Structure formats: structure tokens, C-alpha cells
Amino acid sequence: MRLYLEPSVLVKLFKREDDSDKMIEIISRIDKGGSWSACTSRWSFLEVARALKKDGKPKELIELNLREMRSHRVEYKPVSLEVLAEAERIVLEHNVYASDSVHAATYRNLKRASKLDVFLTDDKHFLRLRELVDPRTIRDIVI
């Protein structure tokens, strides 16, 4: 299974939330390789850091969490000019947050190139972008 990991699911690795245990299982599968792989935007580091900061975690612990995030077999894709151009179109057409448009655009770009199977998210905002990303939740994933 080839996954795009939106930050709302990545944060579950470091913050106790519903489905955190299953997300840890998913990352374990990805780390083992085989038929499981994952990617996300480098922008995800900023969003995960912000979510952890907002949750009251100290800087040192957030830095440790981000180092751990980098240690997993997840590909962190750069925010290219092509992605930014598509993200701008998504904002104008769908009136969504800039961050959400960056992830939708990154996924769409990678879906074509990497043949991704799933846009994995726990963020309800992506329901508004259903025709662009077909969002799935952790509960939809069969391990």
C-alpha cells in the first residue's frame, strides 16, 4: 500500500489521540518496507511541530519528535513551484487553508508520478476536497 500521510495522522505518533496505536502500526509496516510505503510534503514538519507546540510540548521534546519523524521510511517531498501553482489554484477554487492546498497539490502531483493508493488524513477539512484527494482515515486502512 502506497500512502500519502497528511500531518493530522503523523502527529498521532507523538500525541496520544484516537487511532494513535493504529498509526504506530502503520508506520511500523512502512518501516519494514515490502508492499508498504509512504510519503508526505516537507511542509508536514512545520505542521507537526506547530501541533505539538500548541499542545504544550517543550522545544526540546518537539525537536526529538521531529528527529524521530525523520528516522522513519517516509519520503519527504519538497514543495516545488509546480506544487505551489496547483495549491494556489486549489485555494482559489475551493476556499481552503493554504496548508491543506499544499498537501492536496503534493498528493495530486505524487499520485500521478508514484501511483499512490491513499491520501491518509484525520482532518475533516479534506472532505471539501474529496474530488481531488479522496481522503481516507486510519480506520479505513486494513492491516
- Give per-residue pLDDT as tens, 89-140: 999 999 999 999 999 999 999 987 778 999 999 999 898 899 999 999 999 9
Q: How many CB atoms lie within 10 A of CB 138?
A: 21
> How does residue 143 score in pLDDT terms, banded at 50, 70 and 90?
confident
Residues in Cβ contact with 123 at an 8 Å cutoff, skipping those fewer than 6 apart: 6, 7, 8, 100, 135
Three-class secondary structure of residue 117 per DSSP: coil
pLDDT at 64: 98
Please choose, from the candidates 114, 119, 111, the residue with its C-alpha nearest in 3D space to the C-alpha of residue 138: 119
What gap in Å lies between CA 134 and CA 127, rounded to an integer? 8
Share of the chain above pLDDT 90, in %: 87
Residues composing the chain: 143
The domain 2-77+116-140 having CATH identifier 3.40.50.1010: the answer here is yes
Show Cβ contacts of residue 44 under 8 Å, excluding neighbours closer than 6 positions. Answer: 5, 6, 7, 10, 76, 103
Is residue 77 helix, strand or coil?
strand
Name the helix (H) or strand (E) containing 74: strand 74-77
Residue 143 DSSP symbol: -
Q: What pTM does this model have?
A: 0.94
> What percentage of residues in the chain have a pLDDT greater than 70?
100
Mean pLDDT of the chain: 95
The per-residue pLDDT for range 32-85, each reduced to its tens digit, is 988 999 999 999 999 999 999 999 999 999 999 999 999 999 999 999 999 999
